[in-house]
Each structure stands twice: as C-alpha cells, then as structure tokens.
Amino acid sequence: MSKIFEDFLDLDAFATDVKRHPRTVRRWIDKPGGLPYSKVGNRILVHVPTAREWLLGQMHNRPKIAHKATKRK
C-alpha cells in the first residue's frame, strides 16, 4: 500500500487490532452514526485516528446508584 494509506487498516486487520470479530466491526459500521470508513474498490478501509475518536465517543458513564433516603430523627 502507498503512503497515502499508512493510517488505514482494512476491516479484518482493524478487527484484529481492536480484538473484535469482523462481523462486530461491520455492525459498528452499519449502525446509525456508525464507525466511519472508506471504500477503495471492494475493500473497506478504516482510518485509525478517526476510528479512535469514534470509539472514544462511544464511551458511556456508569449510571449513578441511587441511595436510599436517610430518615432524620
């Protein structure tokens, strides 16, 4: 691959890199607001810096645990 593609991984290599099955990565791509990608011919290419930002944007805060109200005496 030429230098223009040095920040890109194909779908299988990206899936391996993030330790997920390629089907999972395809689901990420297909969901609304999904993982950005480029296509060159039939190859799906993921721009790694953009994917990193997208993954960080998918983070959720843990819900706060509601504490029982304490009774005052």
pLDDT in tens, 43-69: 999 999 999 999 999 888 766 666 666
Could you tell me if residue 63 is inside a domain? no
Beta bridge partners of 10: 45
The CATH code of the domain that includes 46 is 1.10.10
Residue 72 lies in a domain: no
Report the alpha-carbon distance of residue 54 to residue 48 in Å, rounded.
10
How many domains in the chain?
Answer: 1
pLDDT at position 13 is 97
Beta bridge partners of 8: 47
The answer to whether residue 67 is domain-embedded is no
Q: 70: pLDDT confidence band, cut at 50, 70 and 90?
A: low
Boundaries of domain holding 28:
3-57
Instruction: Specify the pTM.
Output: 0.76
